[in-house]
């Protein structure tokens, strides 16, 4: 039994991404959800499953009420930080394949100017109570300070350099410049990256993702039903989530340079029945530059320790061997918890992206969150 080609993304919706939206997070989620439902050729009352993403706290009930959904059959949460969106798709396909639902809405939205800033909210998250109890009082306040030792260890063991991290930031910025709905519009050079201020070594400012406002949503339907729906369907060939050995704190893990996606990727590739060379485009969760490099290794695009040289020479650019984060990612488009990566992949496979990979047929997107959770989806043009 497998979830291969059982589900499809039938609708995508995004608000404008900004740094100060007048709308609150729930209003942004509703706006994006209505766009996604319309894109799928559905009416809101057709939605019979809801898996809300993110920390804003709007439960499925709030959507059910506003949409007047008469018969919601399923709701759940997939609390994996930035991996939640893809984990939610996996859950959605499973309940669709089980005959519980027809159309599952996965909404997300955030307004960091009115809510907690992503960079300093660890102590508000119950899954990190150990970090809060032991590490927060020492000055370990932000996720950046916990991801940085992962990157530092990688650099010490394998010789990875800040210039290699710069390649990732510069490439992704260049893609944001080609994308209409992207926040960062100033070109970036390697020198700009190296001159940006040190935040927490080895992460400079331009190694860190944005704090953004906006909403993003997708609708998942069965691949069979998708054939009859309005938008051009995109089939999900392989999907999996993976968790780190201990999710509670980085100090618990035998190896901090390997993330949960190392467990998920072989499952997803096997399910999809495709190989790495089949991947035309990759939208890789990029809360920090190094996290992209590490995931490339963990997914098997190169060996552990070789991510630094892999990203050199323009391999990740549009026109390169593995065009990556063609929308600008969390680093330069917007931080939408990776929902924007899912949406960009669908757009690429529909052939409708701003920075389109010509002829893109198969691609992948990843999510990463909560200090090491990972998720991956491999999709194909329907």
Partner 1 sequence: MSDQTISYPRPHAKDLSASYWEGTSRGALVLQCCSACGRFRHYAQLICSSCYTEHAEWIDASGRGTVHSWTVSHHAFHPSFGADLPYTLATVDLEEGVRALGLLKNVAPDALKIGLQLRATFPVWTDGYGRLTFVPVLSDKLEHPRMDLQG
Q: Is 159 in the site for partner 1 (CB under 8 A)?
A: no
Q: Is 313 in the site for partner 1 (CB under 8 A)?
A: no
Q: Is 198 in the site for partner 1 (CB under 8 A)?
A: yes
Beta carbon of residue 362, minimum distance to partner 1 (angstroms, whole number): 36
Radius of gyration for the alpha carbons in the chain, expressed in angstroms and rounded = 19
Q: Is 156 in the site for partner 1 (CB under 8 A)?
A: yes
Binding-site size for partner 1 (CB under 8 A) equals: 38
Among 37, 184, 250, 299, binds partner 1 (CB under 8 A): 250
Residue 378 contacts residue 366 (beta carbons within 8 Å): no
Beta carbon of residue 289, minimum distance to partner 1 (angstroms, whole number): 15
Q: Pattern of binders to partner 1 over 251-290, x per CB under 8 A?
A: xx---x----------------------------------
Among 23, 103, 152, 327, binds partner 1 (CB under 8 A): 152
Q: Which of residues 96-135 bind partner 1 (CB under 8 A)?
A: 119-120, 123, 129-130, 132-135
Question: By CB under 8 A, which span of 88-96, 151-159, 224-232, 317-325 interacts with partner 1?
Answer: 151-159
Residue 341 contacts residue 329 (beta carbons within 8 Å): yes
Residue 176 contacts residue 300 (beta carbons within 8 Å): no
Question: By CB under 8 A, which span of 160-168, 184-192, 230-238, 244-252 interacts with partner 1?
Answer: 244-252
By CB under 8 A, name the binding residues for partner 1.
Answer: 119-120, 123, 129-130, 132-142, 144-145, 148-150, 152-153, 156-157, 197-203, 248-252, 256
């Amino acid at each position: 039994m497998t979830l291969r080609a059982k589900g499809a993304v039938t609708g995508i919706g995004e608000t404008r991404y900004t740094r100060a939206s007048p709308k609150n997070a729930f209003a942004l989620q509703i706006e994006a959800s209505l766009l996604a439902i319309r894109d799928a050729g559905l009416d809101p009352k057709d939605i019979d499953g809801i898996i809300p993403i993110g920390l804003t706290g709007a439960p499925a009930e709030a959507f059910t009420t506003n949409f007047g959904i008469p018969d919601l059959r399923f709701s759940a949460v997939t609390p994996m930080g930035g991996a939640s969106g893809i984990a939610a798709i996996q859950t959605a396909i499973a309940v669709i394949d089980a005959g519980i639902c027809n159309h599952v809405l996965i909404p997300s939205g955030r307004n960091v100017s009115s809510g907690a800033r992503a960079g300093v909210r660890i102590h508000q998250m119950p899954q990190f109570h150990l970090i809060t109890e032991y590490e927060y009082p020492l000055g370990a306040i932000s996720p950046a300070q916990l991801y940085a030792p992962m990157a530092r260890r990688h650099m010490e063991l394998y010789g990875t350099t800040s210039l290699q991290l710069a390649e990732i930031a510069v490439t992704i910025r260049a893609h944001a410049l080609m994308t209409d709905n992207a926040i960062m519009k100033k070109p970036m050079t390697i020198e700009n990256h190296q001159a940006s201020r040190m935040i927490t070594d080895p992460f400079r400012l331009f190694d860190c993702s944005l704090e953004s406002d906006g909403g993003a949503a997708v609708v998942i339907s069965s691949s069979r039903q998708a054939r009859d729906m309005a938008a051009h369907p995109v089939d999900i060939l392989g999907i999996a989530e993976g968790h780190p050995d201990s999710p509670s704190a980085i100090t618990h893990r035998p190896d901090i340079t390997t993330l949960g996606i190392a467990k998920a990727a072989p499952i997803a590739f096997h399910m999809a029945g495709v190989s790495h060379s089949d991947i035309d485009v990759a939208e890789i969760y990029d809360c920090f530059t190094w996290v992209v490099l590490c995931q490339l290794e963990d997914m098997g695009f190169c060996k552990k320790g070789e991510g630094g040289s892999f990203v050199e020479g323009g391999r990740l650019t549009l026109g390169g061997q593995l065009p990556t984060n063609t929308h600008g990612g969390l680093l330069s488009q917007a931080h939408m918890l990776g929902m924007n990566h899912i949406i960009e992949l669908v757009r690429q496979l529909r052939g409708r992206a701003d920075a389109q990979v010509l002829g893109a047929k198969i691609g992948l997107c990843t999510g990463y969150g909560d200090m090491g959770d990972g998720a991956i989806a491999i999709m194909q043009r329907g």
